[in-house]
A = this chain, B = another copy of it.
Amino acid sequence: MGLTKPVLNSPSVWPRRVVRLEGNRLDPWSSDIVKDYRRVMEQFGLSGPTKEQVEFFQDAPFFRRRIIFAHRDLDVIIDAIRSGREYAVLTGIKPTGDYHMGTFQTVKEFVYFQRKSPQAIAVFSIADIEAWEDNGISFEESKKIAISNVSDLLAAGLDLERAYIYFQSKEIRVHELAALAARGITLATMRAVYGERHMGLYLSALVQIGDILLPQHPDLGGPKPTLVPVGIDQDPHLRLTRDVASKLKPKWGFVEPASTYHLIIRSLLGDKKMSKRDPMSYISLRDDESLVRKKILNAFTGGRETAQLQRELGGEPWKCVVYEIAKFHLYADKDEELEKIYRECVAGERLCGECKMQILEDLIEEMKEHERRRIEVLPTARQIVERAWNRQPLYTASSGGA
């Protein structure tokens, strides 16, 4: 979801360099992206999470580690959690391939925000229309790929009793909402947010607005706070959806969706973000052990040219992709382990070879554990995909229908 890419330079004029390769020697959670984005964040009303907000979400490594570095209306969600009121968390996947270390970050946030309150519902869009418009992948192919995606979602701990999983091409409510939204969106706005694209991608963008408003459809219980955890590159799309929600508020009562923004995990080669288009640039959740080994051993680090230099100057973990993978995906309950790695690296007490071996073993362990859970829930995933494909009623995955 989200690959009908908003145009980053217009109208929001994002800084071109998404990740700055300068770190802070004292702070294992540092990232200068916030500094880069400060002007844009102020202009569009994004804030960094406050100390109180981070405190509230202490049990989430991605808050403690400042992976979520910006948000909009997060307090609306915190209020709902505190007061036990219903809210929704929404995400999706463009089913063009398996989850990788980049895209899976959103799944972790999605499951976390659902589990955070028994009053949360989780809504998950299998964006088969986007996969068709953007990649020419047929709905039938999407259906096959979606089984793998949904199994990862379940293995990550989604509570099926409070989840709704659907295909864009099979969920009429999404199109009802997209049609509602479309009236009054000018071509100029579409061009500004998405660039000059073919009608398929514009349609896909409207359908995504429908996705984001779906939790507030009368059939899903009507207006409610909705949180959409995304990568920062999705913000122009979120802003457009908020405009639409605000315009439709008088009649439909929509609440403008809240959002959190996480850092973009870099490619294994140290540049750009992980992308499905280059398989060697990322670790897929379906990569086997030997492939993961190969990829990590080839990955870009923050090491110096020689071991001697490294001992003298210390490493630069803020440049290191392997450290980044650990920060995003390992030691969920052991920040001190990450801090130790960081400290030792900066102090020159840790060389890249041994460090890679440690992180590699822990990563493989983590992936095996995930895969074990996934195989267990695979039959359920198949069943969910089949029912979604056949347009079964809401909340049918395990609870037997609304």
Contacts and interface: CB of A to CB of B under 8 A. Distances in A.
A178 interface: yes
A311 interface: no
B179 A200 contact: yes
A241 to B, nearest CB: 14
A199 B175 contact: no
Contacts of A198: 182-187
B207 A199 contact: no
A138 B251 contact: yes
A69 to B, nearest CB: 32
A223 B130 CA distance: 25
Given A199-B187, A199-B206, A133 B175 contact: no
Residue from the set A170, A197, A202 with the largest chain B CB neighbour count within 10 Å: A202
Interface in A155-198: 168-172, 175-176, 178-180, 182-187, 189-190, 196-198
Give this chain's copy count. Answer: 2
A196 B196 CA distance: 13
Given A138-B251, A251-B138, A200 B172 contact: no
Nearest to A139: B176
A395 to B, nearest CB: 17
A132 interface: yes
A391 interface: yes
A208 to B, nearest CB: 12
Contact of A170 (B172, B189, B199): B172
Interface string A138-161: 110000000000000000000000
A138 B179 CA distance: 11
A136 interface: yes
A183 B207 CA distance: 14
